[in-house]
Structure 1
Amino acid sequence: MKKLVTILIAVIALSFNTTANAQGTIVDVAVSNENFSTLVTALKSADLVSALQADGPFTVFAPTNDAFAKIDKSTLSSLLEKKNQKALANILTYHVVSGKLSAKDVVAALKKGNGKVELKALNGQKLTVMQKNGKIWLKDQNGNYSEITATDVMGSNGVIHVIDSVVMPK
């Protein structure tokens, strides 16, 4: 378990400048990282930017551009349209949990929960965090998995954990 945490922290150190990012909100952190440009576009389309700039704290499981690229282009384009703002907001709020859960907190919860813990997302649905094959994963309510590839990207109002796939609510 300690080895896993060490690996995750090393990935963060190589991928992100967490000291500089801690100076702004989680939205500011996302805006400042080109790997989150699709997420930022989606947040703007869903009119969620101001909500995620609030005091929080929040834990955001943030899909990268590559994660969004796994979604069919026409589906993604459709979700970004004004008429689908509510559906997009439901998907995006499924990636956010109230409270600040650091990697250390998640690992402790996994240990207490025998490798699995359920979290309630802001949209009211449950996400399952689990340890599988030496990695930490999110499992959505449809049975799909997303690997947490980097952790503890700090913002002034919460923390971002980077994921490699978009999780989908029911």
Structure 2
Amino acid sequence: MQRHLLAACAATLLASATASFAQDFVTGTHADVNIPVTRATMGASGATKMVGGAPMYPGKDIIDNAMHSRDHTTLVAAVKAAGLVDTLKGSGPFTVFAPTNTAFSMLPAGTVDMLLKAENKAMLTQVLTYHVVPGRIDAAVLADQIRAGGGHAMLKTASGGMLTAAMRGKDVVIWDAKGNAAVVTTADVYQSNGVIHVVDKVLMPGG
């Protein structure tokens, strides 16, 4: 392993890189400051990460991995209720912003139970597909998009809605159509058919 120390003024970062891991998702200045975003990827696509106490194997698909995360049981139940299992087991590739159980618990009381009712399947599907962006957008790609967008990246979701990605200090933040912000807490969880970024809030489409 070789470690490269990158140090500069406030616009740069301290990162350590190895052949299989790099520690930061994306670091850089706030989107409102006209200084280029710098980045370090979380790791090679072959690296295995732990999410919800379980290893996320790059050779398995999004569903097979997510089912083993104890932090994503609500998300998995919702995906099953919406009939999206086969879709997310498809070839993709997909980028999924995956809310944790805690994120779902922060919704107004009764929201999850309401969404899981059979008569609300269309609404549930819209919410879930709003967390899915076609393509494989990992840390490096997202950082490039944020930089190219002058501090913001617009992401078109599978539902047809838009998400906005930007920096807040060292955090990557995803804004939904209602102006709510979700922080990426674990990035670059590679799958055979895409990549997952764990987020701490449920993203809600407009309308």
TM-score when scaled to structure 1? 0.91
- Tell me the equivalent position of 2:181: 145
Q: Which moved more, 1:33-42 or 1:15-24?
A: 15-24
- 1:2–1:109 distance in 2 versus 1, CA, 3 Å: farther
- 1:7–1:78 distance in 2 versus 1, CA, 3 Å: same
Larger Rg: 2
- The alignment status of 1:41 with 2:77, answered yes or no, reads yes
Distance in 1 between the 2:134 and 2:14 partners?
28
The counterpart of 2:134, out of the listed 95, 98, 113, is 98
The counterpart of 1:6, out of the listed 23, 32, 41, is 23
- 1:14–1:154 distance in 2 versus 1, CA, 3 Å: closer
Contact 1:151 1:160 in 2 (8 A): yes
Distance in 2 between the 1:132 and 1:18 partners?
29
**Equivalent residues, number:** 169
Question: Where does the alignment leave 5 or more consecutive residues of structure 2 unmatched?
Answer: 1-11, 16-21, 26-41
- The alignment status of 1:130 with 2:162, answered yes or no, reads no
**More RCO (CA 8 Å, sep 6+):** 1
- After TM superposition, the structure 1 = structure 2 runs for residues 41-80 of structure 1, keeping only pairs within 5 Å, are 41-80=77-116
| Equivalent position amino acid for 1:161 in 2 | H
1:111, distance to aligned residue in structure 2 (A): 1.6
3-state secondary structure, aligned to 1:6: coil
Q: Which moved more, 1:47-56 or 1:105-114?
A: 105-114
TM-score when scaled to structure 2? 0.75
1:48-105, Cα deviation, whole Å (9 max, x unpaired): 1111101000000000111111012411101001000000000000000000011111
The counterpart of 2:59, out of the listed 13, 23, 26, is 23
| Bigger helix share | 1
What is the RMSD computed on CA atoms of the aligned residues?
2.2
Distance in 2 between the 1:2 and 1:148 partners?
18
Percent identity of the aligned residues?
Answer: 36
